Structure formats: C-alpha cells, structure tokens
Structure 1
Amino acid sequence: MNTSSHADILVDPKMLNVLVCPKTGGPLTYNSDTKELISKKAKLAFPVREGVPIMLIDEAKPL
C-alpha cells in the first residue's frame, strides 16, 4: 500500500476479511493506487473516501 503521503488512508486488512461485494457476496481486494475496493466477480470498483468504503452499487464504477 502506498504510505508516501499523510493524506493516504489505509484500509485495515481485518476489514477486508469482513467486507464482501454487495452485488455478488464475493471477496474484495484493495487497490491503493485508485483507493478502491475491487470486486473481480462483479467487475466493479467501490470507492474508499477518507478511509470509509462506500459499498453502494450506485456509487461503484465498472472495471
């Protein structure tokens, strides 16, 4: 994960173990470059804003 800037907020790995894609129920991975949670199965990227994952399908962007 990118820790070069104090503005970067890291996603807790424990949180990644608990969160699932709201569309598929599948696992998510964190992309620190884009600050998004990625659902490969749904082909969606969910934004993370100020360390808070936005898990709304309407807020996700297609991959």
Structure 2
Amino acid sequence: MSAQNDEGFAGVPVEPWVREILRCPATGAELVDGVGPDGSPELWSTAPEGALAYPVRDGIPVLLVDDARPL
C-alpha cells in the first residue's frame, strides 16, 4: 500500500501533511502502509537496513521501537 492512502490508518482519515512528517523513530526513514502477518495494519519503515514494522492500533500508529517488529 502507498503512503498516500487517503483512507489513512485502518480506515481512519489522515491529513496528507501528517503522513508527510511521520518517520521511523529508529532510522528516520519514511513510513508506508503495510499489513502484518496476522492481517492487522502496520506502518513499514523504508530504511534499506534495520527496517521495522510499527503496529496501528484502533487507527493510531504506535511508533515505539519496543513495540515494532523487524521486517
């Protein structure tokens, strides 16, 4: 999925300017929409090395490295 998804996180609309400023807290890389192994929404880091996947819970991205999983 694209970072420019108008539906936002789990169907919750997100302003485009918010999507533009979200970054991976570990690497500073852009985050794009993804889907976890269990089908839940995630934000994926686009970092070439050390990329992480961050959960989206109830439409809210949880950008905590401790809650992320490696991609």
Q: TM-score range by the shorter chain?
A: 0.7 to 0.9
Q: What is the RMSD computed on CA atoms of the aligned residues?
A: 2.1
Q: CA deviation at 1:24?
A: 1.1
1:43 corresponds to 2:51 = yes
Give me the whole-angstrom Cα distance separating, in 2, the residues matched to 1:11 and 1:37.
15
Residues 13 and 31 from structure 1, CA distance in 2 versus in 1: closer, same or farther, beyond 3 angstroms? Answer: farther
The alpha carbon displacement at 1:11 in A equals: 5.5
Structure 1, unaligned stretches of length 5 or more?
2-7
* Percentage identity across paired residues of the two chains: 39
Length-normalised TM-score, structure 2 = 0.66
Structure 1 counterpart of 2:23, from 20, 39, 55: 20
Compute the TM-score of the two structures, normalised by the length of structure 1. Answer: 0.73
Question: Number of paired residues?
Answer: 57
What displacement does 1:31 show?
Answer: 1.6
**Structure 1 CA distance for aligned equivalents of residues 12 and 31 of structure 2:** 15
Q: How many angstroms does 1:13 deviate by?
A: 5.4
Given that 1:9 and 1:50 are in contact with CA atoms closer than 8 Å, whether structure 2 keeps it comes out as no
